[in-house]
Amino acid sequence: MLILVTGLCGFTGRYVQSELEANGHSVIGLSCDLTDQKAVADEVSRVQPEAVIHLAGVAFVGHKDANAFYEVNLIGTYNLLAALAQHAPNVRSVLLVSSANVYGNRSEGILNENIIPDPANDYAVSKLAMENMARLWQDKLPLFIVRPFNYSGIGQENKFIIPKIVSHFRERKGVIELGNLDISRDFSDVRTVAKVYQKLIEICPAGQTINVCSGNSYSLREVIALCAKITNYQIEVKVNPDFVRPNEVRVLMGDNNLLMQLIDNWQLFSLEETLNWMLTDNSI
């Protein structure tokens, strides 16, 4: 298929492109601003994609400009869907990336897709709004939604927590300042996520909402311990109150049973394998 990938130049995009091309697809990025409705319509009309993976968006929860979440994540997605419905008659699979943050401050066990969303910050609200808006297009487009939990890998910016920790260990820094050390996250590997997106775009489970996660969670204390084990290096950890976010989502761990039912034969890297890759790869 000719697959249009928004956010192609971002962290996830290059891994998705590699996975898609390795499986015989052609990949093209969206070069215009998603908030420019006419530009999006013109480009979709020109490209004529057969499938779309919508990665583009403001993804950093701590982003200072709340308006950007809604302008890009909600309005930008609306512009894309409107353009596809009007100008891409051959499109047969549309993957929209939401976020597990829509579940909010829920820590009771494992979160599956039937949990009622309860977003706790503007980023999560914008993603849930995007999901609700997208459902208005389900009778016009073969679309489905994924809710990725946290994932990391080489190339992710250091403002995200795993790359920040990894960079401190790689550079043998003596001290690292973090926020709440007891928050727990379901961490996946970006290479796993790319493989999942490749498989899902091919089967197109239209109308479904799917968690993309490992089914395991680790606290930041455990991440630090794994990095210390891999590098044989100890680092002093200080809690900086300025890094403790209000409305912090304490525990996010996903149920990936639906994902496992939909796709098979995909590689799931453990967190230790991901950290080892990020800590020891000498190409970066």
Please give the pLDDT value at position 106: 65
Specify the pTM.
0.91
pLDDT digits (tens, 9 = 90+) for 136-159: 999 999 999 999 999 999 999 998
Residue 240 domain flag:
no
What is the chain's alpha carbon radius of gyration, rounded to the nearest angstrom? 19
At 7, which CATH number? 3.40.50.720
Residue 195 domain flag:
yes
Please give the pLDDT value at position 187: 93
Residue 140 domain flag:
yes
Task: State how far the Cα of 115 lies from the Cα of 149, in Å rounded to an integer.
Answer: 14
Residue 159 domain flag:
no
Residue 76 domain flag:
yes
Task: State how far the Cα of 183 lies from the Cα of 162, in Å rounded to an integer.
Answer: 13
Mean pLDDT of the chain: 91
Please give the angle made by the CA atoms of 28, 42 and 6, to the nearest 5 degrees: 35
Please give the pLDDT value at position 69: 86
Phi and psi (nearest 5°) for 181? -75, -15
The three-class DSSP label of residue 143 is: strand
pLDDT digits (tens, 9 = 90+) for 179-228: 888 888 899 999 999 999 999 999 999 999 999 999 999 999 999 999 99
* Total tally of structural domains belonging to the chain: 1
Residue 175 domain flag:
no
Q: Are the C-beta atoms of 48 and 91 separated by less than 8 Å?
A: no
State which residues form the domain around 98. Answer: 2-153+188-215+253-269
